[in-house]
Structure 1
Amino acid sequence: MVDFKYLPCLLTCASLICSCYGQDSMGYVLNKLKQFEKDLRHLKQGYHQMKRQLHHVSRLLSDFQNETTVFHDSLLKKAGMSDRENSCDICMREKHQLEKVLQTCDANTANLKSQITTLKETCQSQMSKLTSNVTVSPSTPAPLNVTSTSRTSVSTTTPRPEEEKSRILIAPIWSSTPHQFRQLNIHSNSLSVYQYHTLKQVKCIAYITKTRKLLIGLYNPDKIVSSTLDTRHVTVLREGVETFGMAVDEDRDIVFISTYQPRYSISRMSTQGKDFTAIIDLSKYGSIPRQIALDTKRRRIYGCNTGKLFTVTYDGQGLTTLATGSQVYAVTLDQTAGVLYYGVQKKLMKMTVSNNVSTEVTTLDAVPWNMRLYRGTIYYSSNGSPIVGAVDVTYNTVAYTLQSVSVKGSSTNGMCLIP
């Protein structure tokens, strides 16, 4: 029992009372003390019970405060959601954009799976081809052994499915014997016969991607003809025109032609052969104009005439000599990078068109007659040599031979790229 601080006083009083009133009163006082002690115990029990209830109420208060905080946070979150819901138009636009992105992703994923499947099949097919000897039709002379720098493929990277149709169409120049063009398949570096044409005296070939048509310049009789890619039928576009170079601006439906008959000039016509006109007379500028390349963004023509590299606008203005040399026959342009590639004898040169500064890239195995830039690689045919070579200008500058294409009656090959 807990000590009660007034108990000594009560006992003292009780003692005094007892001494005063005698023995009879003692029993009465003791009974009162017992009753007092009983009341005291009840008071103590009430105190502990009240203490437990206070602790319980404190715990409930704490829980209530926590619930209040959660409720407050919930209200704030709902308020934020309400604010966003007030921007319904923005939400709907974002939803539609996300749906479009998801649809595009699904389509891209499906397309990627399809490409992976095609790529696996292509790789298996090419591995099968590479393990066997490449055979050429009896009408086609067997290719010569390539040089020590020859490679079995154009690129060291794995070919993509869309490259399966990429090829170089090769036509022997000046050959008087009817022949079939040769086809160099870029993805596998395999040579085959292009069966659709037996034209002779070819001077120049070009390709129109949108209409999938070939443009072919012929000699004796002098004319430019056109044909769809896989047919023997040809349509005469212009007569009395001899050319060593043609370039096509497909967006504007213009074919630019470097002519030496009826005179040295740069001429133009539509892809259907209409509206033929000379834009500049080059009779007094030098030798026969050769290959040309186009900057379709700046509407400029780049060309060469054996001794000079030059440029002129689409309308024949601003004729400018960019470089000089000997045996300058071939030129091609990287329009995106603003770099012009051209040949001087057996050297591959490059020029930054913004400042007309030339540097040597590498030495080639032969004098280039035509050049085409495709996916970071320059492909070139040769003057006085049957080889078709390549230079990977993206990763290295080592020239290598793809194929040797020797045809009776010609030691020079014209070419065009069919992407």
Structure 2
Amino acid sequence: MITFGPISWLLFSTYLISLCSSHDSILSVINRLDQFDRKLLDNKVDMNRMEENVLDIIDGAKTSLRAELKENIRDQVREAMAEILQGESLQDMVKSQVVSELRHLTRGYHQMKRQLHHVSRSLKDFQDKTTEFHESVLKKADVWTRENSSDICVREKHRLEIDLRKCDAYAADLKTDIERWMVLNETCQSQISQLKTALAVPATSQATKHVTSTSRSTVSTTSVTTPRPEVEKSRILIVPFESSTKHQFRQLNIHSNSLSVYQYHTMKSMTSVAYIEKTRTLLLGSYGPNRILASTLDTSQVTVLREGVWAQGMAVDEDRDIVFIATFQPQYSISRMSTQGKDFTSIIDLSKYGGVPRQITLDTRRKRIYWCNRWKLFTATYDGHGVEILATGSSMYAVTLDQTAGVLYYNNKKKLMKMTVSNNVSTEVTTLNVVPWSMILCRGTIYYGSFIPTIVGAVDVTHNSVAYTLQSISMERVRRLLLCSIP
């Protein structure tokens, strides 16, 4: 048997203790290495976050500097224009501006006279019906009196008297409306008189300064055409982008804001709509299959104009027989064709700008196109030249033009914006209750169809009033609404 002495036991114990100590040290080192790895990973995350913040700061600074540079350039150009434009040219510009405003007010005055005539005719018809109703009530009352009628007849007579009082109240309301129209008529006449007086007065220095600050034009110098007389629109056709409802087309009566079913079409999967006034024809874009269709207004007959085209937006220049189309397929582009579907050609390739082109509108006087693609608002000439980005934002789907006033309306998310086309300066009009998918201008009011939820809203841009909901459209699987004004 082997025996160990005290020294051997001491050495063996020391060895065991050192061995355990080294094992603990190794575990401690491994734990520290793990902690170091975690800290290193946290530092990498912090560095990435700092890099993103720096990039955001750089983008913000670029945007701010770009805006400041644009404003400085605008001021310099305004000063240069003020030095260049002097004398008779400024007076001619003032007179041209005043004549344009006078023409606009005259058109509004004649429209108001037509509405007043309509109200007067309605009042006369109502008065005739009221007279007949009075006579019938008196005859019935006389019969009931002679025949010593029962209590039931007395109650019926009382009910008819209540109805008669309601009719009298309605007649009083109509008279109040006529008085209001008369006041508007006098106001319009006064404004026209003031503008006629202004035409005879030479432009002062203050007027010169005002005109030079607002008369810079970035539009094409091509010829300006005289617009065709506009037929009064009384309905708004509401076309859902997608729906499983059988009769999914609706129409909104502008006079009464009443909603009804448009019985002539049961088509589905619509992507765009436009109206040709001189032929009373609806143009409809559809997908699945992708086509452009034509249909005579208030009939169910449909003709295929183009195959293989997914039209996201359409606008018509009737005087030149041109339809401009914002296409999603076969490619992102602005294309054009005749109103009969002939000579289809792409004039602007939009693939490099990104985003699907949406609603499109035209300035037929200056021969310019305006459209948006969710993030940007564009313009170009009729031949596709001079593509320019006018504004940027998000959820920019809808655009329409007040050609008489030279004001472009578009949306930036839920904000309704307006831009003066002579200087491309944008201002906010109001905040909408939804994001609009399409909008049209009719009688000084912007009507818009929403993205989600599906409603039709309105804004009286003449007085910059608050947006309000006209109708809520309840249909299955509907997410977007297209609008088109029709007679």
TM-score normalised by length of structure 1: 0.63
Shift of 1:168: 0.7
- How far apart are the structure 2 equivalents of 1:185 and 1:122? 21
User: How far apart are the structure 2 equivalents of 1:385 and 1:249?
Assistant: 32
Cα distance in 2 for residues equivalent to 1:303 and 1:354? 17
Does structure 1 retain, via aligned residues, the 8 Å contact 2:414–2:434?
A: yes
Query: May I ask how many residue pairs the two structures share in their alignment?
Result: 280
Aligned residue for 1:251, secondary structure, equals: coil
1:309 equivalent among 364, 367, 377:
377
**Inter-partner Cα distance in structure 2 for 1:236 and 1:247:** 18
Is 2:200 the counterpart of 1:197?
no
SS at match of 1:318: coil
Instruction: Note if contact 2:233-2:485 (Cα within 8 Å) is conserved in structure 1.
Output: no
Query: Separation in 1 of the partners of 2:318 and 2:126?
Result: 33
2:125 and 2:234 map into 1 onto residues whose CA distance is 14
Answer whether contact 1:206 1:246 (CA < 8 A) is retained.
Answer: yes
Name the structure 1 match of 2:310. 242
Summarize the Cα distance change of 1:243–1:115 in structure 2 as closer, same or farther, 3 Å threshold.
Answer: same
Contact 1:165 1:185 in 2 (8 A): no
Q: Secondary structure at the match of 2:400?
A: strand
| 1:188 maps to amino acid | S
Q: TM-score, normalised by structure 2?
A: 0.54
Structure 1's 304 and 115: CA in aligned 2 closer, same or farther, altered over 3 A?
A: same
1:161-240 alignment, distance < 5 Å = 166-240=234-308
Partner amino acid, structure 1, of 2:292? I
Instruction: Identify if the C-alpha distance between structure 1 residues 375 and 114 changes in structure 2 by more than 3 Å, giving closer, same or farther.
Output: closer
Note if contact 2:408-2:419 (Cα within 8 Å) is conserved in structure 1.
Answer: yes
Q: 8 Å contact 1:268–1:277 — kept in the other structure?
A: yes
Q: CA deviation at 1:215?
A: 0.5
Output the aligned Cα RMSD: 2.8
CA–CA distance in structure 2, aligned partners of residues 314 and 168 of structure 1? 27
Aligned to 1:118: 121
* Closer/same/farther in 2, CA of residues 413 and 321 from structure 1, 3 Å limit: same
Give 1:33's aligned residue.
none
How has the CA–CA distance of structure 1 residues 252 and 121 changed in structure 2, closer, same or farther, with 3 Å as cutoff? Answer: farther
Gaps of 5+ in 1: 1-109, 126-154
Letter in 2 for 1:315: D
Equivalent residues of 2:317, 2:364 under 8 A apart: yes
Between the aligned partners of 2:288 and 2:114, the Cα distance in structure 1 is 49
**Cα distance, 1:384 vs structure 2:** 1.5
Alignment correspondent of 1:359: 427
CA contact (8 A) 1:331 1:343 kept: yes
- Other structure's SS at 2:121 match: helix
Q: Secondary structure at the match of 2:389?
A: strand
Q: Is the 8 A contact 2:438 2:482 kept in 1?
A: yes
**Identical pairs, percent:** 68
Q: How much has 1:412 moved relative to structure 2?
A: 1.4
Gaps of 5+ in 2: 1-112, 129-176, 182-229
Q: CA deviation at 1:244?
A: 1.5
SS across alignment from 1:231: coil
Change (3 A) 1:403 1:123: farther
1:373 corresponding residue in structure 2: 441
| Partner residue, 1:288 | 356
2:460 maps to 392
Residue number among 387, 397, 411 corresponding to 1:343 in the alignment:
411
CA shift for structure 1 position 358: 0.7
Could you tell me how far 1:299 is from its partner in structure 2? 0.3
Conserved? CA contact 1:378–1:393, under 8 Å:
yes
What residue number does 2:17 align with?
none
Report the alpha carbon displacement of residue 386 of structure 1 after superposing the two structures with TM: 1.1
Contact 2:274 2:283 in 1 (8 A): yes
The 8 Å contact of residues 164 and 187 in structure 1, kept in 2 or not, is answered as no
Task: Confirm whether residue 264 of structure 1 aligns to residue 337 of structure 2.
Answer: no
Decide whether aligned partners of structure 1 residues 197 and 332 sit closer, same or farther in structure 2, where only a CA change above 3 A counts.
same
4+ residue stretches of structure 1 with deviation over 4 A? Answer: 110-117, 121-125, 155-158, 162-165
After TM superposition, give the deviation of residue 416 of structure 1 in Å.
0.7
Q: If each structure's helix is expressed as a fraction of its own residues, which one has the higher value?
A: 2
Farther-moved stretch of structure 1 (165-174 vs 244-253)? 165-174
Distance apart, 1:175 and its partner CA: 2.1
Q: Which has the higher strand share?
A: 1
